[in-house]
Amino acid sequence: MEALFANLGLGFSVALSFQNLFYCLMGVLLGTLIGVLPGIGPVATIAMLLPVTFTLNPTSALIMLAGIYYGAQYGGSTTAILVNIPGESSSVVTCLDGYQMARQGRAGPALGIAAIGSFFAGCVATIIIALFAPPLAEVALKFGPAEYFSLMVLGLIAATVLAHGSLIKAIAMVILGLLLGLVGTDVNSGVARFSFGVSELSDGIGFVSVAMGVFGFAEIIANLEQKEHREVFTKKVSNLLPSLQDFKDTWASILRGTAIGSFLGISPGGGALLASFAAYTLEKKVSKNSANFGKGAIQGVAAPESANNAGAQTSFIPLLTLGIPSNPVMALMIGAMMIQGIAPGPQVMTERPQLFWGMIASMWVGNLMLVVLNLPMIGMWIKLLMVPYRILYPSILVFCCVGVYSLSNSPFDVMQTAAFGVVGYIWVKLECEPAPLILGFILGPLMEENLRRAMLLSRGDPLVFFQRPISLTMLLIAAFLLAVVLAPTVRKKREEAFVEA
């Protein structure tokens, strides 16, 4: 316990330095901005800003990027409640009840409870990270290649189970991602694989290009196809503070949302998106008020909003302790760490305690800033919502393109991104979820490396994955997850849950 306080003290001394406070503010400001604007999410934004972080020191860079992710969760709820468009994918379920509340003239309390719930969840999640990360990192230090391989299998399986739509398509997307990740020079033999003699490809396909093409360009195109119809409730936002009765109604929902969000954030494949869905479903089951859900129940705003913020933050745990990303945003964070010359993994905590604890402490500070940014300054964000998307997207495109171009100062990266824009659009049309692909893409080389090492150590005996207890446990959990999802009743429920939302 004493060590914990000492560590947190160190963390706050780092996070409260003027420089890091500034970057934290920049991060949450940008996060709220892109969260409010529909059609641009944290993945594209972080990908865009990766080149900028070259010039920063690692701690500040990561503090800023983390701020973008959890800041987007706050901003997304504003759009969901006022316009009935999820500003961010994880606030899809907030639309259901939040918008109805706005129509009943209760937009103020809905926004207020979303921010308060998020802040509470953020505080709890910060403590959870501080408590759970160190012991997990110690376990992770004992991992051999076999354990890492099984862990990645588990992570990827979990990501597919939790993806929208067809399970088999999601698994196929993961494998496609792994294969795309293998493009480039093979570490062991030095052979440039699948590069077709193109020198740019021998370094591998650029991660930023894939993320920007699939999540940035493809999304813009898909948005343009839909006719915009927005009804913004601006005049009716007054009285942001929820009433005492509202607090009485929602405190249990906030607690439940936080708990489920924290848990799902840690689990592989989890994150903000899944957390909000799960919290809404649970709340609908448990609440006394369940008949009112979908018609403006305040619990239906409080629970998913708390859950997505908790999930966004606790998903940093697998990244910081195991070096394994659980969702595309964390995959980008790995990219950012590698740019700075830090190998993600359990050794980060011992070798760079300032970075590790500084980042954790900054999350709490960032949450505090977000409450201030969101409640009194809500009018400014609403003004921003009035600008139609068709006016914004050319600037977004230009910014994306210059960001990609500046990666290696050649048109090649821009072309590559455009190509992934096409492919990403095809995937959208064919209902193939791209998120599992991105995870596979990042894990591809790592997975091959660990498989090779494990097989070398076991002299080619594949049973090694079943003989080591930790590895066996993970594979069993993965098999169990698959079995559960394939069971007919659960399968039906899962489809219903996603359709409903």
Partner 1 sequence: MKITNGKDFWAGVMFIAFGLGFLLLAIGPHRFLVELVAKVFDYKLEYGYAMGNAVRMGPAYFPTVLGGILAVLGAVVLLRAFVSKIEYPLRVFPFRLWYLPLGVGLGVVAFYTQPSRDAGVVLQIGHMLLAGLAVGLTFAAFGERSLWVVLLSVVIFGYALKPLGLVLAVFIMTIVSAIPGFTWTRKDFQMLPAYAAIGVLLTYLTLVVSPPIQRLVLAVFGAAGLNLPPVLALIFVEIGLGGVLAFFAGRYKWPQITAGQVTVLSFALAVFSVASFVHGLGLPMNVWPSIFE
Residues 19-58 that bind partner 1 (CB under 8 A): 19, 22, 26, 29-30, 33, 51-52, 55-56
Interactions with partner 1, residue window 123-142 (CB under 8 A):
none
Return the number of the residue (408 or 473) whose C-beta is nearest partner 1: 408
Q: Any long-range contacts for 463-472 (C-beta under 8 Å, 24+ apart)?
A: 464/146, 465/146, 465/149, 465/150, 468/144, 468/146, 468/147, 470/142, 470/143, 470/147, 470/150, 471/146, 471/147, 471/149, 471/150, 472/150
Tokens, residue 308? 């997505």
Residue 496 beta carbon to partner 1: minimum distance, rounded to whole angstroms: 14
User: Per CB under 8 A, does 199 bind partner 1?
Assistant: no
Interactions with partner 1, residue window 209-228 (CB under 8 A):
217, 220-221, 224-225
Return the number of the residue (140 or 158) whose C-beta is nearest partner 1: 158
Helix (H, G, I), strand (E, B) or coil at 446: helix
User: Per CB under 8 A, does 171 bind partner 1?
Assistant: yes
Interface region with partner 1, contact rule CB under 8 A, candidates 110-118, 173-181, 294-302, 480-488: 173-181
Return the number of the residue (221 or 255) whose C-beta is nearest partner 1: 221
Residue 43 beta carbon to partner 1: minimum distance, rounded to whole angstroms: 18
Return the number of the residue (9 or 462) whose C-beta is nearest partner 1: 462
Total interface residues for partner 1 by CB under 8 A: 79
Interactions with partner 1, residue window 225-264 (CB under 8 A):
225
Dihedral of the CA atoms 255, 258, 261, 264 (nearest 10)? Answer: -70
Residue 248 beta carbon to partner 1: minimum distance, rounded to whole angstroms: 36
Residue 166 beta carbon to partner 1: minimum distance, rounded to whole angstroms: 8
Return the number of the residue (83 or 319) whose C-beta is nearest partner 1: 83
Q: What distance, in Å, lies between the first and last C-alpha atoms of the chain? A: 42
Interactions with partner 1, residue window 289-348 (CB under 8 A):
none
Binding partner 1 by CB under 8 A: which of 1, 2, 3, 18? 18
Tokens, residue 389? 């998307």
Whether the CB-CB separation of 228 and 392 falls below 8 Å is answered with no
Binding partner 1 by CB under 8 A: which of 241, 380, 486, 497? 380
Binding partner 1 by CB under 8 A: which of 103, 164, 193, 295? 193
- Per the DSSP assignment, residues forming a β-bridge with 184 are 193
- Per the DSSP assignment, residues forming a β-bridge with 185 are 192
DSSP class of 199: G
**357 C-beta neighbours (distance < 10 Å), count:** 26
Interactions with partner 1, residue window 397-436 (CB under 8 A):
397-399, 401-403, 405-406, 409, 411, 414-415, 417-418, 421-422, 425-426, 429-432
Tokens, residue 417? 């991104």
Tokens, residue 65? 């990027």
H/E segment holding residue 192 = strand 192-193
DSSP codes, 73-135: HHHHHHHHHHHSS-SSGGGHHHHHHHHHHHHTT-HHHHHHHHHHHHHHHHHHHHHHHHHHHHH
Residue 92 beta carbon to partner 1: minimum distance, rounded to whole angstroms: 21
Interactions with partner 1, residue window 433-452 (CB under 8 A):
448, 451-452
Tokens, residue 33? 């901005």
**Cα–Cα distance for residue pair 409/395, rounded to 1 Å:** 20
Tokens, residue 40? 């641009």
Interactions with partner 1, residue window 138-167 (CB under 8 A):
166
Return the number of the residue (197 or 488) whose C-beta is nearest partner 1: 197
User: Per CB under 8 A, does 273 bind partner 1?
Assistant: no
Return the number of the residue (300 or 421) whose C-beta is nearest partner 1: 421
Binding-site string for partner 1 from residue 446 to residue 485, where x marks contact by CB under 8 A and - marks none = --x--xx--xx--xx-x-----------------------
Give which of 367, 360, 364 is closest to 7, Cα–Cα: 360
Binding partner 1 by CB under 8 A: which of 10, 182, 252, 482? 182
Tokens, residue 330? 């964390």
H/E segment holding residue 358 = helix 353-374
